[in-house]
Amino acid sequence: MNTSPQSFQIPKNIQRDIQERWFHLYKWISPDEVKRSIERDFLGVIQKIWIPLAVIAILAALISWTNIAVFFVVIFIWVIGMFLYLLYLSIKRSFLLSKSAFVVLTDSSISLWGKIYNLSDFGEYQKDLEKVWSEFEEQIFEESRLEDTNKSLKESVIKQLFWGYETILAMSNKSSSRSKDSAGWILLLIWLYTLYIAVMAVVYFFWVLGLFIFGKCIMWANTIYLLKKWEKVIQINSLFWKIHRASENIYEKKSELEKLLTNAQNHDWKDGILLQINSGIESINSSATSATESIVALRSIIKKSKYTTMFRFEVYENWIKEQITHPLGEILRLLEVNKETLVSAKQDLESQIQSLENDSQFIPNLKLALTRVEMQIGEIDTFIPELKTTLKKLQ
């Protein structure tokens, strides 16, 4: 096992996230890791006790004149003790999980174990980091090493299994020239050790099965508890991502809308372009409304939470401008310019219609173009006030 962390380095991708919005929720320990840590403890106990327990159980059987009941009682007592010990560890780990599942980071602070520290005061929260590392073998911002440890422990247990046979056979080689009684004792030892392996195999099988069921229950209970305990910070993180997704949609639709409006200005109404423009505007409006609601809710939750002391709202406001306000402002200007162009096109079409004879073959097409232009002006007139209202709420 490697030594515990001696420094605190925030990965660049997380630093960028913090610089942009002054907040990052890092998911450190998961409920699944509690289960894997208990599996590691089980294997660790077997590794330590395998040979001593074999010796004690076999000696107890020999002293009691090969009373198999005594042999099984010794192992049973150990199994009960192991179960109680691992139950205690599972409760302890679940308690530790509740404090270390999530870490909240800003540019200057870290919220760990329900306490807020200054990032520069590494010595103050180093013990908390090391405690989690020692229990779950996972340094913050790194991958868990529990699977590698469990694999190594399994290999060690298997080696110990064969080491027992090797030891008995070595005893057999030393005593082969003495008497038949010695050979009988050796055979008895082999038989008892084989029985010990069989019993431990059954224990291991049922323990693995029990650990699977127990682990699922632990994971379920821990997940429910974490969702309740960390409800505020999960809500904050969820709202941040909801705003981000709305921003991505607004930027995407803005690009599409620019092309569609350019085509519309050139009177290219093919392939249902009016429907596409209206659909794009509705999508932007929906994303803007959703983002506004999320932004208002996010401000409220942060101000009412303990994280308000480690939050810089001016950075957050700049992030909101970049994510939502800026693209919406560009869309508003785009629509206003487009409306002016459409009004000019409408006047031009009306002049053309008036200047032509009523029986001119061009009049139906001009009237159709005029109708479409008027419809688009109507759509823009509906959306511009809504967009201005949204931008006002974001100020």
CA distance 24 to 22: 7
Final residue belonging to a domain, choices 207, 229, 251: 229
Residues 192 and 220 in one domain: yes
Residues 245 and 218 in one domain: no
CA distance 294 to 319: 14
Residues 272 and 375 in one domain: yes
Predicted confidence (pLDDT) per residue in 132-160, tens digit: 888 888 888 888 888 899 889 888 888 88
We report the CATH number of the domain holding residue 369 as 1.20.58
Residues 74 and 152 in one domain: yes
Predicted confidence (pLDDT) per residue in 299-346, tens digit: 888 888 777 777 777 777 777 777 788 888 888 888 888 788 778 878
Predicted confidence (pLDDT) per residue in 276-286, tens digit: 777 777 888 88
Q: Which long-range contacts (CB under 8 A, 24 or more apart) does 76-85 make?
A: 78/49, 78/53, 79/203, 82/42, 82/45, 85/41, 85/45
Predicted confidence (pLDDT) per residue in 105-137, tens digit: 887 788 877 778 888 888 778 888 888 888 888
Q: What tokens appear for 393 in the block? A: 């709420």
Q: Could you tell me how many residues make up the chain?
A: 395
Which of 166-170, 174-178, 215-219, 348-352 has the highest mean predicted lDDT (pLDDT)?
348-352
Q: Which of 141-145, 214-218, 251-255, 387-391 has the lowest mean pLDDT?
A: 214-218
Helices 31-63 and 122-136: crossing angle in degrees, nearest 10, is 50
274 to 102, 201, 263, 267: CA distances (angstroms): 48, 73, 10, 11
Q: Is the four-CA dihedral 210, 213, 219, 224 of positive or negative sign?
A: negative
Query: Do 373 and 273 touch, CB atoms closer than 8 A?
Result: no
Residues 194 and 338 in one domain: no
pLDDT at 201 exceeding the cut of 60: yes
**What DSSP state is assigned to residue 1?**
-
Per-residue pLDDT band at 3 (split at 50, 70, 90): very low
Question: Across the strands, what pairs with 115?
Answer: 112
Cα 331–chain centre separation = 34
What percent of the chain is modeled with pLDDT above 70? 86
Per-residue pLDDT band at 294 (split at 50, 70, 90): confident
Final residue belonging to a domain, choices 229, 256, 279: 229
Q: Is the pTM of this model over 0.75?
A: no
**What DSSP state is assigned to residue 325?**
I
CA distance 212 to 262: 61
Mean pLDDT, range 188-208, rounded to an integer: 81
Residues 163 and 263 in one domain: no
Q: Position of tokens 């008895």? A: 188
CA distance 115 to 128: 10
Residues 90 and 225 in one domain: yes
Q: Give me the DSSP letters along 72-93.
A: HHHHHHHHHHHHHHHHHHHHHH
pLDDT at 6: 43
Final residue belonging to a domain, choices 229, 260, 283: 229
Query: Domain range holding 34?
Result: 12-229
Residues 130 and 277 in one domain: no
Per-residue pLDDT band at 289 (split at 50, 70, 90): confident
pLDDT at 175 exceeding the cut of 70: no
Residues 240 and 263 in one domain: yes
Residue 211 in any domain: the answer is: yes
Per-residue pLDDT band at 275 (split at 50, 70, 90): confident
Average pLDDT score over the chain: 78
Which of 106-115, 157-166, 190-199, 386-395 has the highest mean predicted lDDT (pLDDT)?
190-199
